[in-house]
Amino acid sequence: MLVDAHSHLDRYDLVGEGALESALEEVTQLRIFTISNSMGLLSYERNLAIGEMSDLVLPIFGVHPWNAPEYADRLEELSQAIERSPMLGEIGLDFCFIKDASEYPAQTRVFEFFLAAGREQGKIVNLHTKGAEEAVLELLDRYEIPRVIVHWYSGPLDVFRELAARGVYFTIGVEVLYSEHIQVIAKEVPSGQLLTETDNPGGPRGLIGGPGMPILVKDVVQAVAGARKTTIDEITQTVQFNLLQLTRDDPWLAGTCVRVLEEQHGGA
């Protein structure tokens, strides 16, 4: 089973008619366990509906840092969705693509609200860190979040190594096909902390010239195998096992589609 630990299936609605149906067909045919991250409340509601369409899709709630200013003064409105979500994402900070520093306090406020809830509820968090890697590291230490997925890490190697030393999981995505820096990260991620992603449909757009489809994860696996000088099968099995280990015995994930990972592993 392939793993896409960071996608945004609800965003296929913006791609065009039939795009979501095509994406879900690929997910089914290729057996891609997909974590569909949310950008806000409406995004989560759509992801929940998509999750009903496939037993391979895990919808989770978060407020993307780009949308943080919309929610910074209405945090309590997020509590019900946070409580409902089995994992939290996409959350974090972005001091790279967001150039207006006046938005950073709102990002931090929303991020800390999620981290406090994640700590209290014992949930896995799925993080965005672009340009704010040191700040994210400091907040993870402050809130003592034990189970963390960092999505598409592309920052300094010293901070990457600090995060890795804390047991953080890293998703490697499409940029591994193009960037020597990402290839170094893909090579260095501890074997037990390696995951794969696509960030579909929008994330790959700047690299491939259009919206990404789920099949891209196969290219990612192949590139990661090349960077680590191993086989596609080895990476596929490692990533599946890592996600299973990360989610095993998590009461928030009991009864969700994570069971398909357990069934696949039990039948292996």
CATH at residue 205: 3.20.20.140
| Sheet with strand 32-36: strands edge to edge | 2-7, 32-36, 57-59
State the chain's maximal CA–CA distance in angstroms: 52
How many independent structural domains does the chain possess? 1
Q: Which two tokens stand for residue 204?
A: 């790959």
pLDDT in tens, 143-182: 999 999 999 999 999 999 999 999 999 999 999 999 999 9
End-to-end CA distance of the chain: 10
Q: pLDDT tens digits, residue range 32-83?
A: 999 999 999 999 999 999 999 999 999 999 999 999 999 999 999 999 999 9
- When pLDDT is cut at 50, 70 and 90, the band that residue 261 belongs to is confident
CA-based nearest residue to 61, from 114, 21, 16: 114
For residues 12 and 49, the answer to whether their CB atoms sit within 8 Å is no
What is the model's pTM? 0.97
CA distances from 213 to 51, 109, 223 (A): 17, 33, 17
Which residue range(s) make up the domain with 208? 2-266
